[in-house]
Structure 1
């Protein structure tokens, strides 16, 4: 049966990797392995932070939220990809597609805001250490996280509501493995000018503004590090930021590659490759990045191993 016969008028087709049938078993095994490691790794980070009193600090509170968001983010995308590869049924309903797009956008924006909050936390810790406990009090930490959740869902819901009003052309085939914003936009028969203006405005608000906060925070941090007299002191200060800076570079690099371009120049091939990076690779790497260089986190993971018999991400 051809792919086009699997769908009704109200369905979309997620073509994904269907153009390479010989690679389907390999992709299924690869994506399944990445999915399981991602979920396990991020849940271990959350368990380690929750079970160790030494990690009940603002930095680890934000990291636990980031791990939770990464887990939800992966569960929004990968199970549907695995089901499509396994069953070779690529259809997704119109409602299901919009719901997936909504959670994808909301969780991506939430990642964006949390990375900015974590950069601000490192700025206060390194540049204003004497005022850290006052500035990053529990109430302010909760407020920053709550504001991140609220803003991300408001921005995602506004674009999803606009997208739900569009009519789509005869071809409902999406050359992607999930309901991403730009591939859906290219299928719309309606006038999308207002939508694109709003999309770029939200991209500036939710992308450029947090990134600017991150860059300004690290500019102050680097300036402070350069004033530290000893090389050992500089290394110690920078090591607390290296993990976060690595994640920020990967996250923003792939997002800018895909979304900061006009929809008319969107390339499905480049979009798919970049999407694999930020939907599967980055959530997979985050637990390792944040535990490899962090002695406290490794100690907490080993304690979990000793208590529950769960293998930690990294042994001593």
Structure 2
């Protein structure tokens, strides 16, 4: 993967990240659950001519060794990471769970972005429904399903790990998430999902990480519910794939967009895994936000 491995200090350690280089405004790229910074490689390669993209590994993912002890740490970390990067008015892009992460960090006042881009990562339920849904994610059956479907927490020796990676590459074309992704990118993302521990490799995230981040408190000020968008004042672009998690709730997404000026809904013919399967289209959307930022800045300077 093209890029420089960096570390971004947070409250209790560091986040692993990839700085893809380039010049201009900062663009923070935040992956979804089960993915890692490598998922953004093809998007980032199309951005570096006009901006500087950096992708993070969230807690429990990729090469970040920190795990979550509570449901908010993973998105609160983004405030620390942005402080280290010291960017002026960055563009924040999040896919799936990463879409909520950038939204929550901004809603909590931990980030002051020029714009948010949320890729199939909206939260549409009210607070009560969201709490019930998160409780359902933490049941033994739900966690076992994740373990079985994605091998979360699986331990393997070198040979078994590499055999699994190559199997994922071979089967990518028929996989509901990876169909359409570049095989080499599938390999990079899958390899990065394993962390070395002693003489074994561990597939990340473990189900314990999922249990921790879904233990949302009813008393939380910022909660993964639709009212979080009322706290945003920056421009918001929502990318909604036709085969994504929220395609059937388009009217609700439209209502979020229509609730405030400076918001856009962009429909895209894709499955949920837009960063890996439609990188050129997503990069074009991000570059549009970068150019809008520059135009706004130039207008304010004038």
> Normalising by the residue count of structure 1, what TM-score does the alignment of the two structures yield?
0.26
**Greater share of residues in helix:** 1
* Structure exhibiting the larger radius of gyration computed from Cα positions: 1
> Normalising by the residue count of structure 2, what TM-score does the alignment of the two structures yield?
0.27
**Greater share of residues in strand:** 2
Q: Which has the higher contact order (CA 8 A, sep 6+)?
A: 1
